[in-house]
Amino acid sequence: MKASAIANANIALVKYWGKRNKELMLPNNGSISMTTEGLCAHTTVEFDEKYTQDQLVLNGNEIKPGTEDYDDYVGKFLSVVRQISGTDLKVKIVSNNNFPTAAGLASSAAGFAALAAAVSKALNLPMDAKNLSMLARRGSGSATRSVLGGFVEWKRGEKEDGSDSYAEQIVDENFWPEFRMIICVTSKKEKKVKSRAGMAQTVKTSPMYKAWLETVDNDLETVRKAILEKDFTTVGKTAEENCLKMHATMITTKPPIIYWNAGTMEIIHAVMDWRDEGLESYFTIDAGPQVKIMCLEKDVNEIVKRVKQFSHIEDVIITKPGSGVKIVDDHLF
Ligand code: DP6
């Protein structure tokens, strides 16, 4: 009962921020993302009688049951898996990311998409993409979208049981191969406020949250249509505006959540200046200080050359639309 899977991370163009049901991990709004090629989690699971307790090794570090990092994430997810499958076998999980964990690079998205796929294979729970995305959702909201490749929409859904809150592919990874995200890593430190706690606090305290929710459906429609038309200007502009609206709700949370650092600000201003010069690029930022610059393939070299000259850059990663989760034979133990 051993299986492995690899899943790519994703970066949202229309963001998910806030839950309507914490237990079932149901969002207050729909979201759209690009699955990012090459930024991945590789996960192996084994359910076996030889294990006397659940075990998780993430990037070489053991995360023990009883800690918040375990109980609120993998622990909670495994209870769902045991409920669905009926198994009471203990499991060993080993997972490696090839990018910085918890620094706003959607590590939980790739991790839980890979974990959901590996678990369903190991326990022989046959699942289509829709059901797999709903299982991944129970681990982390953004993981719902990493099950599929290309550009993906996570439907908010209306039902209380969450059965209509799943991922749907808008177009696959081969549809728009010229689309690029340049990830500018401005700090590799773990962020102080995790997305889960941050969004709950925003929903509770930000006076801007209601306004955010009122505009998201419109952004979803605009971005969905612009992706299908390969209208880069509309995708980039709408995604950038959507990101700034989400950050407005974060900044106005009590106490304030400000994920940006000096490096983040430097890039925001630069991207806006480049656009005035005719170098078309837009930015988006998640729950961390990294800036993801959206551009087309033809402008990648020029933008990377400029980004590397900034003082706060720790890493630059170029990514394009990537594939959905895959079961692999390559086990990590
Ligand atoms: C800002 O999916 O990490 O990246 O569902 O609580 O695990 P949980 O949160 P998570 O939140 C992601 C928030 C975001 C926006 C996005 O990816 O849509």
Which of helix, strand or coil describes residue 109? Answer: helix
Say what percent of the chain tops pLDDT 90.
94
DSSP H helical ranges for the chain: 68-69, 76-85, 107-122, 129-137, 143-146, 195-205, 209-228, 232-251, 262-277, 300-307
**Which ligand 1 atom minimizes the distance to the CA of 73?**
7
**Which ligand 1 atom minimizes the distance to the CA of 25?**
5
Residue 78 confidence (pLDDT) above 70 = yes
Cα–Cα distance list, 315 to 22, 46, 190, 193, 289 (Å): 34, 34, 15, 22, 12
From the CA of 279, how far away is ligand 1's center (Å)?
A: 30
pLDDT at 9: 96
Q: What is the DSSP letter of 321?
A: B
d(CA 131, CA 165): 10
Q: Tokens 């990311």 appear where?
A: 97
**Which ligand 1 atom minimizes the distance to the CA of 14?**
18
Residue 105 confidence (pLDDT) above 80 = no
Span 272-277, mean pLDDT?
97
pLDDT at 107: 75
Which of helix, strand or coil describes residue 246? Answer: helix
Residue 5 confidence (pLDDT) above 80 = yes
- How does the average pLDDT of the chain come out, rounded? 96
List ligand 1's pocket residues with C-beta within 6 A. 12, 15-17, 25, 31, 106, 108, 140-142, 195-196, 286-287
Confidence of residue 20 (pLDDT cuts 50, 70, 90): very high
Q: Per residue in 67-101, is it b (16+ CB within 10 Å) or e — as a string? A: eeebeebbbebbebbeebbebebbbbbbbbbebbb
pLDDT at 189: 84
From the CA of 267, how far away is ligand 1's center (Å)?
A: 22
From the CA of 276, how far away is ligand 1's center (Å)?
A: 31
**Which ligand 1 atom minimizes the distance to the CA of 142?**
2
Contact 295, 303 (CB under 8 A): yes
**Which ligand 1 atom minimizes the distance to the CA of 139?**
7
Residue 106 confidence (pLDDT) above 70 = no
From the CA of 286, how far away is ligand 1's center (Å)?
A: 8
**Which residues, listed in sequence order, are joined to residue 292 by a DSSP beta bridge?**
183, 284
pLDDT at 260: 96
From the CA of 61, how far away is ligand 1's center (Å)?
A: 23
